[in-house]
Amino acid sequence: MWFYEKKTQYPVKIKKTDPRMAKYILSQYGGPDGELAASLRYLSQRYAMPTPEAIATLNDIGTEELAHFEMIGSMVYQLTKDASIEQIKATDNGVYYTDHDKGIYPSTGTGVPFNAAYIQSKGDPMADIHEDMAAEQKARATYEHLLDLADDPDVMEPLKFLREREIVHFQRFGEVMDKLQEYLNSKKYF
């Protein structure tokens, strides 16, 4: 049923330890605009969509967001796996270390755990698609902010890939929105 290829959607091969950058990136793992929230949002919203195209788009993008969740987790792990206690203390990551060591836990960089309230699912197709388009723009902006903070090309390249995928997702949701409007405004003949 499953074929597992042991690689991420885009290569993540970070050589330099940087717990400071890991703390920033962690927000895309378990924060309100992060990949886990996006994935669960889209995979939950698909059930209330009235057209097969909308269902398929939410399913496909929600699944891709899980691949992005894996990439972010890989980035955080690679940035912290060889960090010394001194580096962890110097980047104010002691509280995270106390609770999780160098394990990857869904939270924001400030330590707020993932919260199911991040998952917006209204049940109204137009409200949900508008929410999804806004979510993709917020994620794009977050990746741009992370790129402003990064200086390692090994970190920047996966972040650029992820930012571009947010743009593509926004475009796909825009296409779905147009088709949903057409469907919802059409006369129904039964």
pLDDT digits (tens, 9 = 90+) for 112-165: 999 999 999 999 999 999 999 999 999 999 999 999 999 999 999 999 999 999
- Contact residues for 12 (Cβ-Cβ < 8 A; gap 6+): 71, 74, 75, 78, 158
Give the alpha-carbon dihedral of 68, 72, 74, 79, to 10 degrees. Answer: 160
- The answer as to whether 1 is a domain residue is no
* Residue 113, beta-bridge partner list: 107
Number of domains making up the chain: 1
- Percent pLDDT > 90 in the chain is 91
Q: Which pLDDT tens digit goes with each residue over 77-108?
A: 999 999 999 999 999 989 999 999 999 999 99
Residue 59's contacts (CB-CB under 8 Å, 6 or more residues apart) are: 42, 43, 46
In the predicted structure, residue 186 carries a pLDDT above the cut 70: yes
Q: What is the mean pLDDT of residues 9-29?
A: 97
What is the average per-residue pLDDT within 5-31? 95
Per the domain annotation, does 138 fall within a domain? Answer: yes
Domain membership flag for residue 131 = yes
The residue-averaged pLDDT of 53-67 equals 98
Q: Is residue 10 part of a domain?
A: no
What is the pLDDT confidence band of residue 24, given thresholds at 50, 70 and 90?
Answer: very high
Residue 19's H or E segment, with its range, is: helix 19-25
Examine residue 86 and state whether it is found in any structural domain, yes or no.
yes
Q: Looking at residue 94, which CATH number applies to its domain?
A: 1.20.1260.10
- Domain extent at residue 133: 19-113+121-185
